[in-house]
Structure 1
Amino acid sequence: MARTNDIPARVLVVTTSATSYEAAGYRTGLWLGELTHFFDVLDEAGHDQTIASVEGGLVPIDPESLAAPILALGGTKKRYEDPAFMALLEQTPSLADVADEEWDAVYLTGGHGTMFDFPHHPDLARILATTFENGGIVAAVCHGPAGLLGVALSDGTPLVSGRAVTGFSWAEEKLARRNKVVPFRLDEALKEYGAKYTKALRPMAEKVVVDGNLVTGQNPMSATGVAEKVVKLLRKRG
């Protein structure tokens, strides 16, 4: 997918379609700031972004991500109050709708919902493997790296095998009081596929890991940093 610096990159932003935890009555969905912080940086850089969800249609938003102190971070409130932006989340294409298109970068947003519908999803796995092997960028933040589980390259090797990654830590899961209702430990699951998982020394501290054209962020505080690394990598690709 060769392109020149004056042509915007085509970036696919993927969100969950899951609305609740399977083992509890809590509502979940997209962590809104992990979308808006990334979207703002890529938008400022002039790239074309398509927001898709696993099943298509309305994107569920985790109500905790709309709490006043959290919503105020990094311009998320401005986006939430923008009808034109929020309309982008009302009728999203599904992964099946976009699976055959070519992308310069794919970004996996977080939110606990991703732990239920991202792992081992055939369309998502195909999009990620194809993009990665074509030299495109694969990025994920917080619980978004759950989408990397089960993604195999054409030679059968897991995409994350031998690669440095991060993602929501178990300490952070306990801090969020979701450790008893999540379906698995994200950090351990990534390690099982051969990933070299690392985390910040302090829970909820920003941490972004870049390994070639794979970019991962640990938590909501890392979404902007992930976006900045993606923009930098796109610039290098030319």
Structure 2
Amino acid sequence: MPSMTKHILNVVTNVEHYDDPSHPTGLWLSELTHAWNVFEEQGFEQTIVSPKGGRTPLEPRSLKFPNYDKTAKAWRADPARMALLENTASPDQINSADFDAIFFTGGHAVMYDFRDSEGLQRITREIFERGGIVSSVCHGYCGLLDTKLSDGSYLIAGRQMTGFAWREEVLAGVAKLVPYNAEEEAKKRGAHYKKAMLPFVSYTVVDGKLVTGQNPGSAKETAKKVVAALSRS
């Protein structure tokens, strides 16, 4: 009998600064913790993977008010949880057949290492084509920009989705630091990009097996919609 327990693959970054080393970045912790808690409450098993494996640094701005909430604080206070971020799996250690969904976390760091990871692209394609759920929050959608399906088409082409908006980059004061405009890149790939009328409010888009959230405040809602999508699959 196959196991009824769902398995989630959470993706985090290995990058700790922008092109300019004086500007640190990393995983936006609450984007992981909010989703992790939702999946944990469902009894799902979870694994953390990164493009290179090993340590994921934390985005300093995610550890300050108002972004540093009780879920992030609880994670940092738990040595076992922090150890998970010191020793993440690498894509070549992952068998995509073991997972029902993949969830790409964000933080500006992922703009540098998610997009070009052939290992992550392979895992994502295999999960999606097997009928699993592909999901992302905030900048996590950078990991979907160049992922192609077996027929050579972009996974996001023709699909409705969201992710951190260019307007939010400007308001966050990092528009001149980021390596590209992710919103525009998604549109170039044929995605039907959508965003909330107001910046930084929770906003999610579900298009079949693709579930995406716009910004850090969307992580919990995105995870809940991944749960709902899994219940239908």
Extract unaligned runs of 5+ from structure 1. none
CA distance in 2, matches of 1:59, 1:90: 6
1:45 aligns with 2:42: yes
CA distance in 2, matches of 1:113, 1:174: 16
Is this contact kept in 1: 2:97–2:127, CA < 8 A? no
Q: How does 1:23-102 map to 2 (within 5 A)?
A: 23=20, 25-72=22-69, 75-98=71-94, 101-102=97-98
Residue-by-residue CA offset, 1:99-119 (whole Å, 9 max, x unaligned): 555311000000001000011
The aligned residue for residue 213 of structure 1 is 209
Pairing partner for 1:13 from 10, 13, 28: 10
> Alignment partner for residue 153 of structure 1, among 132, 137, 149?
149
Contact 2:30 2:69 in 1 (8 A): no
Q: Kindly, what percent of the aligned residue pairs are identical? A: 46
Partner of 2:198: 202
Query: How far apart are the structure 1 equivalents of 2:218 and 2:66?
Result: 17
Aligned length: 233
| Ranges in structure 2 where 5+ consecutive residues have no aligned partner | none
Q: Report the Cα offset of residue 68 of structure 1.
A: 3.4
One-letter code aligned to 1:41:
V
Is the alpha carbon distance of 1:168 and 1:66 closer, same or farther for their aligned partners in structure 2, counting shifts above 3 Å? Answer: same
Give the CA deviation at 1:96.
Answer: 2.2
Q: Which amino acid aligns with 2:169?
A: E
Letter paired with 1:174 = V
- Go from structure 1 to structure 2 and tell me whether the alpha carbon gap of 1:3 and 1:216 turns closer, same or farther (over 3 Å shift): farther
Instruction: Give the match's secondary structure for 1:70.
Output: coil
Matches for 1:135-146 after TM superposition, within 5 Å: 135-146=131-142
SS of 1:215's equivalent? strand
TM-score in terms of structure 2 length: 0.96
Give per-residue Cα distances to partners, 1:115-142, cap 9 Å, x unaligned: 0001131101111111000000000000
| CA RMSD between the two structures | 1.5
- Please give the TM-score of this superposition, normalised by the length of structure 1: 0.94
Query: Where do residues 221-232 of structure 1 align in structure 2 (5 Å cutoff)?
Result: 221-232=217-228
Deviates more, 1:51-60 or 1:152-161: 51-60
Shift of 1:55: 1.0
Deviation per residue, 1:41-80 (Å, 9 max, x gap): 000000000011111111111011011321126x221222
In structure 2, C-alpha distance between the alignment counterparts of 1:100 and 1:122, rounded to whole Å:
13
What amino acid maps onto 1:172 in structure 2?
E
Residues 1:58 and 1:125: Cα distance change in structure 2 (over 3 Å): same
User: Comparing 114-123 with 17-26, which one deviates more in the overlay?
Assistant: 17-26
Q: Which digits, 9 at most, give the CA deviation of each residue in 1:201-225, with x for residues without a partner?
A: 0010110000000000000000000
Q: Once the 2 structures are TM-superposed, how far is the Cα of residue 24 of structure 1 from its aligned partner?
A: 5.1
Q: CA deviation at 1:23?
A: 3.6
Q: Distance in 2 between matches of 1:114 and 1:184?
A: 12
Deviation above 2 Å: which 4+ runs of structure 1? 99-102
The separation in 2 between residues aligned to 1:221 and 1:22, in whole angstroms, is 26
Give the aligned partner of residue 187 of structure 1.
183
Find the aligned partners of 1:100 and 1:11 in 2 and give their Cα distance: 10
- 1:33 partner amino acid: S
